[in-house]
């Protein structure tokens, strides 16, 4: 039994270079020892510092009150809103939207609204079929004919926005 305790003690402690001092085997290694793949037989000072820093970080994290107001307060934006900058950004956005509505851009919003309306019409047809409890095979045929009508009437570029398959 004594021999086993001595063996555990010997494995827990390693000597510093020079052999005069000993320290606990580090759980964190320095980058040079990590690159080697295993710690050297003697404990280097960087491994010792890395282990001390690790232990300190563990102690501090154990004392951290995660529900404290101070912790949450540090993450909140307490800077006042820059109202003049916000007003300038809003004004720039209004000007940019006005520029988009000139030339061909004036039709963009109408096109988008027409696509949304066409998609809504197909969704209403589907909802009506569900509400009337139409037989699935007949419902699929009716939806297929509605989609075919949309394909005939709408530009081909609109179809991905109106009909999803």
Nearest one of 26, 30, 25, 27 to 14, comparing CA atoms:
25
Give the pLDDT of residue 94.
Answer: 92
Q: Which of 6, 17, 48, 18 is nearest to 30 (CA)?
A: 48
What does the pLDDT read at residue 71?
64
pLDDT digits (tens, 9 = 90+) for 125-134: 999 999 999 8
Does position 5 have pLDDT exceeding 50, yes or no?
no
pLDDT of the residue at 114 = 86
pLDDT surpasses 50 at 6: no
pLDDT digits (tens, 9 = 90+) for 84-141: 999 999 999 999 888 877 877 778 777 888 888 888 998 999 999 999 998 999 999 9
Confidence of residue 17 (pLDDT cuts 50, 70, 90): low
Q: At what angle do helices 136-153 and 108-131 cross, to 10 degrees?
A: 160
Helices and strands in the chain, H and E counts:
8, 2
């Amino acid at each position: 039994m004594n021999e086993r305790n001595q063996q555990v003690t010997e494995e827990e402690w390693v000597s510093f270079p020079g052999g005069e001092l000993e320290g606990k085997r580090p759980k964190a290694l320095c980058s040079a020892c990590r690159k080697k793949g295993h710690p050297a037989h003697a404990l280097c000072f960087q491994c010792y510092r890395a282990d001390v820093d690790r232990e300190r970080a563990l102690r501090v994290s154990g004392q951290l009150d995660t529900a404290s107001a101070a912790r949450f307060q540090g993450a909140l934006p307490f800077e006042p809103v820059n109202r003049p900058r916000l007003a300038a950004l809003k004004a720039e956005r209004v000007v940019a939207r006005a520029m988009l509505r000139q030339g061909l851009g004036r039709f963009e919003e109408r096109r988008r609204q027409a696509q949304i309306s066409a998609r809504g019409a197909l969704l209403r047809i589907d909802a009506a079929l569900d509400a009337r409890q139409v037989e699935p095979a007949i419902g699929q045929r009716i939806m297929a004919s509605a989609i075919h009508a949309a394909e005939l009437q709408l530009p081909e570029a609109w179809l991905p926005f109106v009909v999803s398959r």
